[in-house]
Amino acid sequence: MAKVGILMGSKSDFDVVKPAVAVLKKFGVETDVRVISAHRTPDEAHEYAASAKERGIEVLICAAGKAAHLGGVVAAFTTLPVIGLPVKTDMMGGLDSLLSIVQMPSGIPVATVGVNGGENAGLLALQILGIKYPEIADKLSQYKEAMKAKINADDAALQEML
């Protein structure tokens, strides 16, 4: 059963969403990936958000660009944690998307990752799930150890060159 619901406002957002799906898959976490728009399919956005918890979803990721209100709208209809994933745009490089998602007024928070930060959105979802599932928290510790080993190896290689 999918633990993470991943919504995107348009199929054109999918390239940004892929790293989130990939990292969740790598950790063995099933996802439910959908194209649902806050303004083009508002009824579906409402229905999905309001029913997510009873369908077993534990964390939501919402990717959107421009006037990117999908995360905020979804967060309005659920108590599940919502991670906003701002999509880079042509006009402002994604600053428009970022501000639309991160600057939620008090009362309805949307945890926001960087522009096109799909992998971090997936990792943040895993960290939230790790509170409940020790096996996910353990895998995250191993992931961090591997990252540390790589940086240390890169540093050692650099020192050799200098």
Catalog residues that contact ligand RP5 under the rule CB under 6 A: 9-10, 12-13, 37, 64-66, 87
Nearer to ligand RP5, 16 or 123 (CB): 16
Q: Cβ 158 to ligand RP5, closest distance in Å?
A: 38
Q: Cβ 41 to ligand RP5, closest distance in Å?
A: 10
Q: Cβ 138 to ligand RP5, closest distance in Å?
A: 34
CA–CA distance, 20 with 58 (Å, rounded to integer)? 15
Nearer to ligand RP5, 29 or 64 (CB): 64
Q: Assign 3-class secondary structure to the chain.
A: CCCEEEEECCHHHHHHHHHHHHHHHHCCCCEEEEECCCCCCHHHHHHHHHHCHHHCCCEEEEEEECCCCHHHHHHHCCCCCEEEEEECCCCCCCHHHHHHHHCCCCCCCCEECCCCCHHHHHHHHHHHHHCCCHHHHHHHHHHHHHHHHHHHHHHHHHHHHC
Residue 82: strand pairing partners: 60
Q: Cβ 17 to ligand RP5, closest distance in Å?
A: 10
Nearer to ligand RP5, 46 or 66 (CB): 66
Nearer to ligand RP5, 63 or 128 (CB): 63
CA–CA distance, 114 with 102 (Å, rounded to integer)? 10
Nearer to ligand RP5, 89 or 137 (CB): 89
Q: Cβ 68 to ligand RP5, closest distance in Å?
A: 6
